[in-house]
Amino acid sequence: MSSIEKQLQETLGLATVRYETNLSKEQLFHEAIANDRGRIVVDGPDDAQKAYPTKLGVDGPLVFYTDPSCTGRPVNDTFGVAWPELDDKVWWKNDFQKFDPDKFEPLLARVAAHLNEKNARLYVQDVYAGSDPEYAVPYRFVGEYATHAMFAHNMFPKNIAGVTDEDEKRWTLLNVPSFHADPERDGTLSKRAVIMDFKSRRVLVVGRADYCGVNKKTMFTVMNYLLPEMGHMSMHCSANVGQGGDGAILFGLSGTGKTTLSADPQRELIGDDEHAWTSIGVSNLEDGCYAKLIDLNKQAEPVIAEALSMPGTLIENVPALPGKKIEDTDPQDFDLTDGSITENTRFSYPLTCNPHVAEGARGPHPKTIVLLTADAFGVLPPVSVLDAREVMYHFVMGFTSKLAGTEVGVTEPKAAFSACFGAPFMAQKPSVYAKLLAQKMGESETHCILLNTGWGGGGYGVGKRISIGDTRNLLDAALRGDLHAADMEYDLHPVFNLKIPRSCPGVEASILNPRNTWADKDAYDTAANKLRDMFRTTFQEKGFASLGIEPVM
């Protein structure tokens, strides 16, 4: 019995299973096509082929189809084991609920018995969460699908030298789509569940929860619990570094420009999604990218477009072309506007597919922090300069807006608030991350701006979106330090109490104060007050004041 087999028998109770351990991506490609079976259409069979090659074969991407009920993270079925000693520390919420400790071990034992009985073939992939050995956590993926093992290979660092006490730090994720939970017996809410056990360093994924992102964001949630315990700041952000060694991090929810704005030919990319800020700088938690494909503009996103034809990459839930087999399709010919399976079509590719990647996916302490928002109400300034109190406030509020028409029943812009710009993944309370951010900023003398990539001159449908050119110029000015220069003059917004620069190179000064861009000033005032009241209501409902966050508007 190998050391891995022995550890998995002791950790998970697996005794009579077969392992395919640390296969190459080429091997996993073939294994996925041959062996990954499950449901891919509603009311379809549970033994359908789930993974396919394209016309390029092993020299191109693997195409994978999830269960139709799980084309995104199953947020309502995501839990943490509520051990009494951890209960007060964890931020429990609708998308991270308590799981009864007395139910967890019996459920895990039933899953192990299920796998042992069927002599299951399991794929094991040993990777790390984190690129810096100071905090990197050994992560062992164990699951029924070779596709998931290939995804882990893509998305996480391998062979990190200098990590000590690996066995004592290792987290193990067991992913078993073929086991369907019984809610009454197992303590789940449905037949599927994603359950994290911070005490024993185990994650259990069961049932129709085979969306690849589960294997990524679950470990991000784990790291958001662990890193603050080490004194490090965990962040849902993109990051890059300039030619002069000036680092920057960009926080933002979907649609705000986090990935696009961090891709800059004049700067090296550290990463586009998950990072840690330690005593020596910023480092990527990952080794890959997991990009949305729906409506991809190949001219605007040439890196993703080129990577679509590269080996070792993974396309998720993009439909086949009518009347054409996937095996006969060139990946460049897929219809990326087709959302018939899901609007959340995805693409996993190694970080090395990006040009200008910072060595080791690491960089210095950030000189500039950018909080991104896309205000579809058209009332926030294009850019505002924030002090330490305002940074904590806007960080825990995590505001952006959803557009009319993006959801059934949404007929006007809708405010969206997600604490720390990633509330579902924040395992500890928001104040933990806000205080760490303020501390790190103070130690590194970091500046911060609120950058609005949304609308001006009116809300969505009336005004127009702030041009990418103006946004780039505002961002570049912030990165150069222009917006924090001693001779910079500011206006104070009367509703939001935000400090607005009066000028910026390359940007018409008239657009910097958003009220100036509205023809109907009274309508602007009404809309601005309405959004401010949404901020105030959300702040009160979330109880942020009791967590030590100061209201600033």
Task: Give residues with Cβ within 8 angstroms of 548, minimum separation 6.
Answer: 431, 435
Strands, E, within 191-311: which ranges? 193-197, 202-206, 233-242, 247-251, 267-271, 274-278, 281-284, 288-292
Q: Based on the residue annotation, tell me whether 147 is a catalytic residue of this protein.
A: no
Q: Based on the residue annotation, tell me whether 259 is a catalytic residue of this protein.
A: yes
Provide the pairing of β-strand 137-143 with 121-129: antiparallel
Q: Based on the residue annotation, tell me whether 273 is a catalytic residue of this protein.
A: yes
Q: Based on the residue annotation, tell me whether 272 is a catalytic residue of this protein.
A: no
Q: Which of the residues 148, 192, 208, 217 is marked catalytic?
A: 217
Q: Which of the residues 254, 279, 337, 406 is marked catalytic?
A: 254
Provide the pairing of β-strand 288-292 with 399-402: unpaired
Listed as own residue / partner, the contacts of 547-552 with beta carbons closer than 8 Å and 24 or more positions apart are 547/396, 547/429, 547/430, 547/431, 547/434, 548/431, 548/435, 549/392, 549/393, 549/396, 549/430, 549/431, 549/434, 550/389, 550/392, 550/393, 551/393, 552/389, 552/390, 552/393, 552/497
Q: Which of the residues 140, 202, 258, 402 is marked catalytic?
A: 258
Q: Based on the residue annotation, tell me whether 73 is a catalytic residue of this protein.
A: yes
3-state helix, strand, coil in the chain (%, to 5): 35, 25, 40
Q: Which of the residues 153, 170, 232, 346 is marked catalytic?
A: 346
Within a 10 A sphere around the Cβ of 301, how many other Cβ atoms?
Answer: 17
The H or E element that residue 176 is part of is: strand 171-176
Q: Based on the residue annotation, tell me whether 264 is a catalytic residue of this protein.
A: no
Q: Which of the residues 67, 197, 273, 375 is marked catalytic?
A: 273
Q: Which of the residues 50, 236, 499, 542 is marked catalytic?
A: 236
Q: Which of the residues 78, 234, 259, 384 is marked catalytic?
A: 259
Contact in structure between 28 and 150 (CB atoms under 8 Å) = yes
Q: Give dist(CA 196, CA 402) in Å, integer.
A: 30
Q: Which of the residues 39, 73, 140, 499 is marked catalytic?
A: 73
Q: Based on the residue annotation, tell me whether 254 is a catalytic residue of this protein.
A: yes
Task: Give residues with Cβ within 8 angstroms of 263, minimum separation 6.
Answer: 269, 272, 303, 354
Q: Based on the residue annotation, tell me whether 346 is a catalytic residue of this protein.
A: yes
* Tokens encoding 370: 């950018």
- Residues labelled as active-site residues: 73, 217, 236, 254, 258-259, 273, 346
